[in-house]
């Protein structure tokens, strides 16, 4: 069975725009999707990237244009400058790690719900109550918001190290069978590649 490593960040607008499509593509091809949340700002620093706030104004402006166009193309609501961004992505990432271990709900819905809370609902995904709401909506126990925090922190840090070693430099980023796909706009390419195997 093919495994897809899915590196993503809960504060990434492009992870939000990926929605549940990664899980749908994996299911279509009988692949296993392994969720690997990471610290995107630390990843930028480790791989030659520049955090959005530090980019040239022309790059900042064009980033917003691309986000607007992508959201419109996907018919997804999006606030280009959300009230709670950037925020601390660690708590929501730890909850996703705990939920993946728990396995009782819909992990794709959880990731989509957390990123939607940030990018479309003006909610702070660093807050326990917001994360708990997202857990519950995806079929998980609200208590997972505070479950396995030490293990979550260790896994979160390990995901970053694995990402750097694997050649990951942005989010979302998919690796399947040694093939790399960067960006929500490459999910169709991932789908096509899996279909050609």
Average pLDDT over residues 64-73: 97
Q: What is the pLDDT of residues 141-154, one digit of tens each?
A: 999 999 989 999 99
| pLDDT the model gives residue 197 | 86
Topology (CATH level 3) of domain 3-195: Glutaredoxin (3.40.30)
Domain ranges of the chain: 3-195
User: CB–CB of 123/117 below 8 Å?
Assistant: yes
Q: What is the pLDDT of residues 19-41, one digit of tens each?
A: 999 999 999 999 999 999 999 99
Assessment of whether the complete model's pTM goes beyond 0.95 = yes
């Amino acid at each position: 069975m093919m495994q897809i490593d899915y590196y993503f960040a809960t504060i990434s607008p492009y992870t939000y725009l990926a929605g549940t499509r990664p899980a749908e593509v994996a299911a279509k091809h009988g692949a296993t999707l392994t969720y690997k949340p990471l610290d995107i700002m630390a990843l930028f620093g480790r791989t030659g990237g520049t955090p959005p706030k530090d980019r040239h104004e022309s790059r900042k402006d064009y980033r917003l244009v691309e986000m607007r166009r992508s959201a419109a193309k996907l018919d997804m609501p999006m606030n280009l400058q959300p009230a709670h961004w950037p925020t601390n992505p660690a708590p929501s990432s730890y909850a996703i790690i705990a939920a993946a271990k728990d396995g009782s709900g819909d992990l794709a819905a959880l990731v989509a719900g957390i990123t939607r809370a940030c990018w479309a609902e003006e909610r702070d995904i660093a807050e326990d109550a917001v994360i708990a709401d997202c857990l519950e909506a995806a079929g998980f126990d609200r208590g997972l918001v505070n479950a396995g925090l030490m293990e979550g922190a260790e896994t979160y840090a390990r995901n970053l190290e694995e990402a750097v070693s694997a050649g990951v430099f942005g989010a979302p980023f998919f690796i399947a069978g040694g093939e790399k796909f960067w960006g929500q706009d490459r999910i169709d390419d991932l789908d096509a590649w899996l279909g050609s195997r």
